[in-house]
């Protein structure tokens, strides 16, 4: 039996100590260049984070834009069950009292449980951006927090650019925290706003700050140096009790600290408590849920939750993992809701076949393994690439082993692309036999592949209703032997997913539409066989 260490011995004293997780996907994450959320998107994500038990969910900056105000109005009628909703904003403006500042009033009127305000802690910003005296900036911070506390609110102070400010003028940076604390701030959050600080600096500075402060201290890291997660971990190691970040690291420029990495590191490797175990085991689902809403294709190499995070391609690796998964996996994939994937390629051998098909409890005789390897080698010479098309590989091997039962029979398809007054439209016609019935359907789409997808669904969903859960998440085209110009072979890779799994299929043809059709059909067949428990 294989055992993974849950945490290092050096952290046993901290076991089960709670670390507050503060999500800012809806505000800071939405500032990412490719990220856009509708109000409906925001409420769905907030409800999902609430279901997972995140401590704090930052909803936006009321007063800065109508959309943020609308979100808080919606949430007022749909209160969270577990998490605390946070409204984000700034300290009062210069030349205006806290009582008369419209932005502070908007924070109060939002109805949020918690208010997080940011203030300048770097003297460079005070002088060059606010263009006020250092003492006046301290008054902005103190007055704003005192006013919000007088209204009975929990208040977090985000010390913007704190680490840069501390490195250049530590005495003043600390003064901003002390003023916030003296006026009632419930949390002091040190922000690496430019993302330029390094983990060893975070440890040193965080320890000094915590020794001086009486209220819990947190970290808000950006990823411009590629170490936002490492900085967040370093902060907790030094005593921080509160971590801010976003799902999948969404955020401006290079993004924010990725909570889908921070949470399992803190909980599984350091023994802290972030989420209940049942929700940690659904972390991959949460990651992909947010990607889907944001309409962003998930990067395969994302730690813990990525499609390739536990994918093994080299034959030596696969052989070792088959004997003991700890040899090439730092945690059990299932602990974060992910799964091990054994890739088939020219780098793998018989260990790959044995590992992938151990789930069928078959006596894989040497001649069968050799037949499969020979077939894979033959197809790869022609341009097939199964490492990203495991579903097509599964179907292929099932046919070789005599385990394949055709779920439906394809009798033909046709695609027409024409220009109409409304623009260019694709129309697809498919003829598919399901059982004794032949379905002949027509559908339109914004392109030939989309039209084919719609027509296939129209034909199959009456017999297989669960196909409505099938989503195509990625479509890649590769031209093989481009020197043949328009006669070159095209390889199409399609990535599909349902609520529980992601899989890839492949099609190869000199005709891009036929290659797409082959990959599409494989995806639908895989889903049907999976639902029938035949895969």
Catalytic member of 125, 161, 242, 317: 317
How high is the pLDDT of residue 400? 83
Average pLDDT over residues 246-269: 97
CA atoms 357, 359, 362, 364: torsion sign: positive
How high is the pLDDT of residue 312? 82
How high is the pLDDT of residue 308? 87
Q: In this model, does residue 398 exceed pLDDT 90?
A: no
Q: In this model, does residue 36 exceed pLDDT 50?
A: yes
Q: What is the dihedral of CA 160, 164, 168, 173, to 10 degrees?
A: 30
Q: In this model, does residue 149 exceed pLDDT 60?
A: yes
pLDDT top residue among 276 and 347: 276
pLDDT top residue among 482 and 180: 180
How high is the pLDDT of residue 351? 55
Q: Which residue has the tokens 């199409």?
A: 492
- Report, in angstroms and rounded to the nearest whole number, the Rg of the chain calculated over CA atoms: 27
Find the range with the poorest average confidence among 40-44, 269-273, 337-341, 513-517: 337-341
Long-range contacts of residues 40-46, Cβ cutoff 8 Å, at least 24 apart? 41/293, 41/294, 42/71, 43/71, 43/74, 43/75, 43/78, 44/293, 45/247, 45/289, 45/290, 45/293, 46/75, 46/80, 46/83, 46/85
Digit-coded pLDDT (tens) for 187-201: 999 999 999 999 999
Alpha-carbon gap, residue 117 to 191, rounded angstroms: 12
Give the model's confidence band at 364: pLDDT under 50 very low, under 70 low, under 90 confident, else very high. low
pLDDT top residue among 262 and 329: 262
Query: E strands along 401-509, which residues?
Result: 409-420, 423-434, 437-445, 471-480, 489-497, 502-509
How high is the pLDDT of residue 12? 46
pLDDT top residue among 424 and 301: 301
Average pLDDT over residues 168-178: 97
| H or E element that contains 148 | helix 134-150
CA atoms 462, 288, 337, 243: torsion sign: negative
For residue 501, what are its two tokens?
């799994």
Q: In this model, does residue 519 exceed pLDDT 60?
A: yes
Q: In this model, does residue 11 exceed pLDDT 50?
A: no
Q: In this model, does residue 305 exceed pLDDT 80?
A: yes
How high is the pLDDT of residue 402? 82
**Strongest mean pLDDT among 58-67, 83-92, 314-323:** 83-92
Phi, psi of 50, deg, nearest 5: -65, -40
- 317 in active site: yes
Strand partners, 492: 477, 507
**Of the candidates 175, 157, 172, which has an alpha carbon nearest to the alpha carbon of residue 244?**
157
Contact 58/28 with Cβ under 8 angstroms?
Answer: yes
Q: What is the dihedral of CA 23, 27, 32, 38, to 10 degrees?
A: 110
Domains of the chain with CATH codes: 17-275 (3.20.20.70), 311-401 (no CATH)
First to last CA, the chain: 25
CA 97 to chain centre: 41
Find the range with the poorest average confidence among 147-151, 278-282, 301-305, 493-497: 493-497
Contact 49/283 with Cβ under 8 angstroms?
Answer: no
pLDDT top residue among 106 and 381: 106
Helix ranges, 238-314 (H): 259-264, 277-280, 283-294
Digit-coded pLDDT (tens) for 427-460: 999 999 998 899 999 999 989 999 999 999 999 9
How high is the pLDDT of residue 33? 93
Residues 6+ apart with CB under 8 A from 421: none
Give the model's confidence band at 344: pLDDT under 50 very low, under 70 low, under 90 confident, else very high. low
Average pLDDT over residues 220-229: 98
For residue 200, what are its two tokens?
């060893």
Alpha-carbon gap, residue 454 to 460, rounded angstroms: 10
DSSP 3-state of 463:
coil
Query: E strands along 341-396, which residues?
Result: 341-342
How high is the pLDDT of residue 110? 94
Digit-coded pLDDT (tens) for 105-131: 999 999 999 999 999 999 999 999 999
Digit-coded pLDDT (tens) for 63-82: 888 899 999 999 999 999 99
Give the model's confidence band at 499: pLDDT under 50 very low, under 70 low, under 90 confident, else very high. confident
How high is the pLDDT of residue 534? 72
Average pLDDT over residues 487-496: 85
For residue 375, what are its two tokens?
């077939």
The Cα diameter of the chain in Å comes to 84
How high is the pLDDT of residue 505? 93
What is the pLDDT of the chain when averaged over all its residues?
A: 89
Average pLDDT over residues 353-366: 60
How high is the pLDDT of residue 349? 54
Find the range with the poorest average confidence among 273-282, 346-355, 483-492: 346-355
For the purposes of burial, counting CB atoms within 10 Å of the CB of 229, is it exposed (0-12), middle (13-18) or buried (19 or more)?
buried
- Of all residues in the chain, what percent carry a pLDDT higher than 90? 66
Find the range with the poorest average confidence among 44-53, 172-181, 309-318: 309-318
Contact 119/158 with Cβ under 8 angstroms?
Answer: yes
How high is the pLDDT of residue 13? 45
How high is the pLDDT of residue 181? 98
Q: In this model, does residue 397 exceed pLDDT 70?
A: yes
Find the range with the poorest average confidence among 59-63, 274-278, 363-367, 526-530: 363-367
The structure's pTM equals: 0.73
Q: What is the residue-wise DSSP string for 21-66? A: EEE-TTTTGGGSTT----HHHHHHHHHHHHHHT-SEEEEE-TTT-H
């Amino acid at each position: 039996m294989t055992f993974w260490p849950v945490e290092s011995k050096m952290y046993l004293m901290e076991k089960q100590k709670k670390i507050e997780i503060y999500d800012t996907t809806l505000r800071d994450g939405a500032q990412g260049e490719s990220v856009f959320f509708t109000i409906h998107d925001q409420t769905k994500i907030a409800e999902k984070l609430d279901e997972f038990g995140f401590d704090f969910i930052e909803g936006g900056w009321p007063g800065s834009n109508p959309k943020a105000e609308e979100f808080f109005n919606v949430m007022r009628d749909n209160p969270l069950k577990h998490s605390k909703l946070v409204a984000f904003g700034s300290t009062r403006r210069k030349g205006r009292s806290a009582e008369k500042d419209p932005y502070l009033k908007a924070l109060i009127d939002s109805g949020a449980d918690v208010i997080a305000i940011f203030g300048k802690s770097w003297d460079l910003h005070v002088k060059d951006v606010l263009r006020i005296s250092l003492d006046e900036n301290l008054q902005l911070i103190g007055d704003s927090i005192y006013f919000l506390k007088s209204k009975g609110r929990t208040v977090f102070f985000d010390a913007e650019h704190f680490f840069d400010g501390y490195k250049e003028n530590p005495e003043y940076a600390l003064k901003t925290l002390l003023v916030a604390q003296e006026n009632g701030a419930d949390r002091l959050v040190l922000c690496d706003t430019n993302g330029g600080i390094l983990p060893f600096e975070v440890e040193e500075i965080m320890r000094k700050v915590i020794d001086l402060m009486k209220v819990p201290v947190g970290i808000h890291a950006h990823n411009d140096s590629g170490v936002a997660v490492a900085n967040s971990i370093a902060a907790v190691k030094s005593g921080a009790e509160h971590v801010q970040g976003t799902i999948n690291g969404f955020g401006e420029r290079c993004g924010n600290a990725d909570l889908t990495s921070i949470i399992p590191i803190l909980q599984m490797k350091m023994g802290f408590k972030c989420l209940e175990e049942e929700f940690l085991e659904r972390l991959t689902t949460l990651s992909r849920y947010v990607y889907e809403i944001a309409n962003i294709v998930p990067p395969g190499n994302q730690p813990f939750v990525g499609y390739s995070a536990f994918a093994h391609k080299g034959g030596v690796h696969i052989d070792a993992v088959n004997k003991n998964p700890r040899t090439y996996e730092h945690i059990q994939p299932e602990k974060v809701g992910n799964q091990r994937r054994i890739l088939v390629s020219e780098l793998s051998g018989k260990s790959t076949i044995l590992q992938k098909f151990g789930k069928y409890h078959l006596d894989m005789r040497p001649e069968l393994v050799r037949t499969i390897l020979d077939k894979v080698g033959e197809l790869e010479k022609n341009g097939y690439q199964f490492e990203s098309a495991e579903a097509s590989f599964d179907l292929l091997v099932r046919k070789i082993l005599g385990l394949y039962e055709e779920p439906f029979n394809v009798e033909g398809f046709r695609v027409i692309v024409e220009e109409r007054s409304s623009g260019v439209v694709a129309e697809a016609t498919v003829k598919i036999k399901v059982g004794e019935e032949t379905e002949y359907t027509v559908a339109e789409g914004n392109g030939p592949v989309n039209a084919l997808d719609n027509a296939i669904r129209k034909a199959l969903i009456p017999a297989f209703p669960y196909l409505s859960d099938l989503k195509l998440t990625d479509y890649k085209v590769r031209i093989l032997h481009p020197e043949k110009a328009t006669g070159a072979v095209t390889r199409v890779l399609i990535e599909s997913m349902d609520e529980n799994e992601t899989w890839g299929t492949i099609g190869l043809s000199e005709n891009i539409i036929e290659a797409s059709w082959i990959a599409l059909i494989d995806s639908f067949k895989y889903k049907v066989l999976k639902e029938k428990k035949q895969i």
